[in-house]
Chains A and B, each alone.
Chain A
């Protein structure tokens, strides 16, 4: 089970994500944004949180057009898995791998706190470690986490069971309380909350650990 975590100038959760992936059992390496190819035989690409390229133009917009993201798109088109957290979610929407966009929080404030979430589906490698309907808490830390998509897209996401997480108390104005969504093939997850920051006892919260544990389970031989 092999994973890579992309590193952009301004990424600041890349190491946290690598630590969580390694703890779950992934052989994990860091990949610099200027690289043009991903290592052969990768199962999962992690797109970490942070402020890639200083959030210039739009959050994630410059990163989405960086050399390594072209390789990321090819990886996903081949059926590879990808996990984008926070800025990583913004990057995934900017590449078009996930629908919608993350806008400025409705309060216009940067929000850093623990958010209540409801796991909406256990039908994905990312959420297989949870029960549908289970309530968990994960840290959020973002200025632009207000999920927006048009009515048709939001209806499709709900109809196709592609909303992975919803906030129990909407912190940022996101449409339909959406905190995380899956791609149509359920192999790409983008989410604003940080599971990697709640993955071991020293964090004071281990609600995120099941995401990584479930993910490794998906790759284990049947």
Chain B
């Protein structure tokens, strides 16, 4: 089984990289891009039957820094 973890900066935390991407899109002529947030996707290959809660623990302990980041887990 696979799990896909999405890690994003929390709402309210400034994302300078996302802002830079937004400016670059504007420079390319794409109008109307009102905001860009950049995050990361981490794919895990897991032994069959690994509980989703275990992936949650992995996020809490290592994959996300919950001071600034939120995460979501998708079993695929």
User: Using Cβ atoms and an 8 Å threshold, which residues of chain B touch A65?
Assistant: 61-62
A106 on the interface (CB 8 Å rule)?
Answer: yes
Q: What does the 1/0 interface line of B7-25 toward A look like (CB < 8 Å)?
A: 0000001101100100000
Smallest Cβ distance from A108 to chain B, in angstroms? Answer: 6
CA distance A105 to B14 in the complex (A): 11
Q: Would A105 and B16 count as touching, CB distance under 8 A?
A: yes
Q: Would B62 and A61 count as touching, CB distance under 8 A?
A: yes
- Name, among A61, A65, A107, the residue most crowded by chain B CB atoms within 10 Å (CB to CB): A61
Q: Would A93 and B67 count as touching, CB distance under 8 A?
A: yes
CA distance A61 to B58 in the complex (A): 13
B68 on the interface (CB 8 Å rule)?
Answer: yes
Interface size range on B against A: 10 to 19
Q: What does the 1/0 interface line of B29-68 toward A look like (CB < 8 Å)?
A: 0000000000000000000000000000000011101011
Smallest Cβ distance from A98 to chain B, in angstroms? Answer: 11
User: Using Cβ atoms and an 8 Å threshold, which residues of chain B touch A58?
Assistant: 65
Q: Would B17 and A104 count as touching, CB distance under 8 A?
A: yes
- Name, among B16, B61, B63, the residue most crowded by chain A CB atoms within 10 Å (CB to CB): B16
CA distance A65 to B65 in the complex (A): 12
Q: What does the 1/0 interface line of A60-92 toward B look like (CB < 8 Å)?
A: 010001000000000000000000000000000
Q: Would B65 and A94 count as touching, CB distance under 8 A?
A: yes
A103 on the interface (CB 8 Å rule)?
Answer: yes
Residues of B within 8 A of A (CB): 13-14, 16-17, 20, 61-63, 65, 67-68
Residues of A within 8 A of B (CB): 57-58, 61, 65, 93-94, 99-101, 103-108, 146, 148-150, 173
